[in-house]
Chain A
Amino acid sequence: MRATGGLIAHSLRRFAPMILGVGVLLGAFEFLLTQVAAFLLRHSYFSQLATLMPDFMRALMGPAQLAFMSFGGIVAFGYFHPMVIVAVVTVTVSIATETAAEVEMRFVDLTLARELRRRDVILRTLTVFVVAMTTVLGLMLVGTATGLACCVPADTPHISWRVLLSLALSLATLMVCWCGVALAAATMVRRRAVASGAVGIAALAAYLLDYLGRVWDPARTISRVSPFHYFDPAPLITGTPLDTWDAAVLVTIGAVGAIVGAVVFARRDI
């Protein structure tokens, strides 16, 4: 345990600046979104927007998408804004591909020549990922909570903690999914750039495929292969609970990726 703990501590120390940096940045972004929403509310821009929107648009968007045109919608958007997704997936992939980086720079020769099992290296990555995910999402929630608590007018519509937590949980399932995929890729190659490049391209392709599926009926069926198909936080804004099936699919992809990674890493030559 001492050796595994030592390895985890080493990785946490290395990743701490990135985890805290991204967490603080996204927390600040969430805080500012509460201020943006309050500004729009104060100037009655939401009601003007709703008036301007044609009926067919309202019908097309549905109640969940329409919820964007509200204070809660803008605040919630911080949990699935494309740049936020890019940031959390980047952090996830960086952590999950540490194994490939260590193989590439041969640090793994020094660690695995000691009293560590190969599964300890995988366990280390998963532990660091869980800490990173909790920290980043925690700081995002702190940003939102701070903004709502101190810096919006008293008559601002209420957005429940249940909604905020389900938004964070939804983002967490997406991170788990990409952690598994990146971990599996990282255990199969000798260079981090290969693993992170491949996963980055796959994530971009999956995101675009899901987007196509959402706006273009012929692509709807094929878009089911994209993990982003199972990441649909918009209904959460209206208080709909997190879809258990969607969450289960994403977590299963992550778990399968982690298991594949552990098996491949245990069997390969380093």
Chain B
Amino acid sequence: MALPAIQLESLSKRFGTVVALEDVSFDVQPGEIFGFLGLNGAGKTTTIRILLDLVRASRGRALVFGADCRRDGVEVRAKIGYLPGEVGFYGDMTGNDTLDVLARLNHHRIDAQWRDWLLERLRLGRADLHRRIREYSTGMKRKLGIVQAFQSEAPLLILDEPTDGLDPLMQDVVYELIGEVRRRGRTVFMSSHILPEVERVCDRIALLRRGTLALVSTVEDVRRLAARAVRIDFDADVDAPPSWPPGVDVIEIAPRVWRVRVVGPLGPLLARLPPSVHDVDIHEPHLEDVLRRYYDDREPS
């Protein structure tokens, strides 16, 4: 079995008396797109910085493709392309110079064609690259950050809020790039608090709440935890059934409309419907519907 791309074992981090991470353990498998969720201050960036050995864990360990992030830091970082949440470029350098400098900090050479393709996809033209970064908009800086992270073709991409500051069209391009690198066999570990984004691109997610791991699951399984909203319209007045199948919660019962929430299969509910059904409208659940409960700081039921 292949080594996990990322393996966190009882990872804890304290900054003085502040607990940033407490006993966090999970794996990310090679080839996965893994979403790392949590509110601001939940510990996402601290975890990422431990993976890069920018921050040292107080307890536990982090491994990347089997190598210890602390002990074998250089070996680990050779396999990582990193986009920080806040990218610190020199304002007086041009975009081109910045990409060149950062490319030289990798031991292997950058494929110029791949870089050009990335620049083209993100619509960073030659003229943009020859301008000083202080003249860039927030979105352009973000795009340059994405190029520097992707250009090394590292087996693992760690992206901290990758679409932050990008317009919706560019967000779509980033999702396509993430899909492209996955097709090339790379692993993507991305932090985000944009749930539709995570739902769209990620295979699995982990959710941090105040430094502790609240959930690790596939996106599909999380969706299954959510109730589907079902509205049934009738051609004639009908009576409500004396009992409801398991997993059905009634929201509203009117003579010609029922509104219910269903967790689990719909079959038992549909089997009990009278023949005068006019229409059934099923609202598929979103990741957000479930995760908001976790975000709420209350123990989810």
Q: Using CB atoms and an 8 Å cutoff, list the residues of chain A in contact with chain B.
A: 2-3, 5-7, 9-10, 14, 102, 105-117, 267, 269-270
Contact = CB atoms under 8 A, between A and B. Distances in A.
Given A112-B52, A270-B55, A117 B104 contact: no
Nearest to A268: B56
27 contacts: A2-B107, A5-B104, A9-B104, A102-B88, A106-B86, A106-B87, A109-B54, A110-B82, A110-B88, A111-B102, A112-B77, A113-B52, A113-B54, A113-B77, A113-B80, A114-B106, A115-B74, A115-B77, A115-B107, A116-B105, A267-B56, A269-B15, A269-B49, A269-B55, A269-B56, A270-B49, A270-B55
Nearest to A102: B88
A3 B74 CA distance: 11
B83 to A, nearest CB: 9
Contacts of B52: 109, 112-113
Contacts of B107: 2-3, 115
Contacts of A14: 90
A16 B278 CA distance: 79
Contacts of A3: 104-107
Interface in B85-120: 86-90, 101-102, 104-107
Contact of A114 (B84, B86, B88, B105): B105
A113 to B, nearest CB: 4
Interface size class of B (residues with CB under 8 A): 20 to 34
Nearest to A106: B88
Contact of A112 (B54, B78, B86, B101): B54
B88 A109 contact: yes
A267 B55 CA distance: 9
A269 B53 CA distance: 8
A107 B88 contact: yes
A10 B101 contact: yes
A108 B86 CA distance: 12
B148 interface: yes
A9 B55 CA distance: 26
A16 to B, nearest CB: 13
A113 B82 contact: yes
A3 B104 CA distance: 6
Contacts of A270: 49, 54-55
Contacts of B77: 112-116
B155 to A, nearest CB: 14
B186 to A, nearest CB: 16
